[in-house]
Structure 1
Amino acid sequence: MTFRLGLAQCTHPADGDVVALVERCARDAQAAGVDLLAFPECLMTPFEKTREDFLASAEPLDGAFARKMSRIAAAHGLWMIYTMNERADGVDAGEAPAGGETAEAAAHGNAPEAAGAHLPYNTAVVVDSAGARRGFYRKTHLFDAGDCRESERMAAGGRLFDPIDTPFCKLGLAICYDLRFPEVMRAAACAGCELFVLPAAWVDGPRKADQWAALLTARAVENEMYVAGLSRADERCIGCSRVVDPFGTTVAEAPGKAPLLLTADIDLTRVRAAREAVPVLEHRRPSLY
Structure 2
Amino acid sequence: MKSPAKSKTLRVGLVQQPCTSDRDTNLKMSEDGIRAAKAGGAQLVMLQELHTSLYFCQHESTDLFDLAEPIPGNSTAWLGALAKELDIVIVGSLFEKRAPGLYHNTAVVLERDGSLAGVYRKMHIPDDPGYYEKFYFTPGDLGFTPIQTSVGKLGLLVCWDQWYPEAARLMALAGAELLLYPTAIGWNPADDADEQQRQRDAWVTIQRSHAVANGLPVLVANRVGYEGDPTKQTAGSQFWGHSFIAGPQGEFIAKSGEKADVLVADVDLGRSENVRRWWPFLRDRRIDAYGDLVKRYRD
Matched residues in 2 for 1:46 and 1:254: separation? 21
Name the Cα RMSD after superposition. Answer: 1.6
Matched residues in 1 for 2:41 and 2:63: separation? 37
Bigger Cα displacement from structure 2, 176-185 vs 63-72 = 63-72
Matched residues in 1 for 2:148 and 2:51: separation? 24
Specify whether residues 53 and 34 from structure 1 end up closer, same or farther in structure 2 by C-alpha distance, changes over 3 A only.
Answer: farther
Q: Deviation string for 1:65-100 (max 9, x for gaps)?
A: 2211111111111100001110023xxxxx3xxxxx
Bigger Cα displacement from structure 2, 141-150 vs 193-202 = 141-150
Bigger Cα displacement from structure 2, 45-54 vs 272-281 = 45-54
The residue aligned with 2:207 is 216
TM-score for both structures, normalised by structure 1:
0.86
Shift of the alpha carbon at 1:164? 2.6
Q: Which has the higher Rg, Structure 1 or Structure 2?
A: 2
- The 5-angstrom pairing of residues 185-200 of structure 1 reads 185-200=168-183
Shift of the alpha carbon at 1:252? 0.7
- The 5-angstrom pairing of residues 225-240 of structure 1 reads 225-235=216-226, 236-240=238-242
Shift of the alpha carbon at 1:159? 3.1
The residue aligned with 1:5 is 12
Shift of the alpha carbon at 1:34? 0.5
Shift of the alpha carbon at 1:247? 1.2
Shift of the alpha carbon at 1:130? 1.1
Match for 1:136 among 115, 119, 122? 119
Other structure's SS at 2:253 match:
strand
- The 5-angstrom pairing of residues 1-289 of structure 1 reads 1-13=8-20, 15-17=22-24, 18-48=26-56, 51-89=61-99, 95=100, 118-205=101-188, 206=196, 207-235=198-226, 236-255=238-257, 257-289=258-290
Matched residues in 2 for 1:74 and 1:161: separation? 27
User: For residue 93 of structure 2, what is the amino acid of its counterpart?
Assistant: T
Matched residues in 2 for 1:45 and 1:125: separation? 16
Structure 1: state its 5+ residue gaps: 90-94, 96-117
Shift of the alpha carbon at 1:16? 3.0
Matched residues in 2 for 1:169 and 1:72: separation? 19
User: For residue 88 of structure 1, what is the amino acid of its counterpart?
Assistant: R
Specify whether residues 247 and 66 from structure 1 end up closer, same or farther in structure 2 by C-alpha distance, changes over 3 A only.
Answer: same
Other structure's SS at 1:120 match:
strand
Other structure's SS at 2:52 match:
coil
Shift of the alpha carbon at 1:168? 2.6
Segments of 4+ moved more than 4 angstroms:
none
Matched residues in 1 for 2:123 and 2:21: separation? 29
- Check conservation: 1:241, 1:254, Cα contact below 8 A: yes
Shift of the alpha carbon at 1:166? 2.5
Q: State the aligned residue count.
A: 261
Specify whether residues 14 and 85 from structure 1 end up closer, same or farther in structure 2 by C-alpha distance, changes over 3 A only.
Answer: closer
Matched residues in 2 for 1:159 and 1:285: separation? 26
- Check conservation: 2:120, 2:156, Cα contact below 8 A: yes
Other structure's SS at 1:218 match:
helix
Shift of the alpha carbon at 1:44? 2.2
Matched residues in 2 for 1:237 and 1:147: separation? 12
Bigger Cα displacement from structure 2, 6-15 vs 56-65 = 6-15
Question: Greater strand percent: which structure?
Answer: 2
Specify whether residues 233 and 4 from structure 1 end up closer, same or farther in structure 2 by C-alpha distance, changes over 3 A only.
Answer: same
Shift of the alpha carbon at 1:147? 4.1
- Check conservation: 1:19, 1:69, Cα contact below 8 A: no
Shift of the alpha carbon at 1:9? 0.6
Specify whether residues 170 and 62 from structure 1 end up closer, same or farther in structure 2 by C-alpha distance, changes over 3 A only.
Answer: closer
Other structure's SS at 1:81 match:
strand
Matched residues in 2 for 1:34 and 1:130: separation? 16
Matched residues in 2 for 1:20 and 1:161: separation? 31
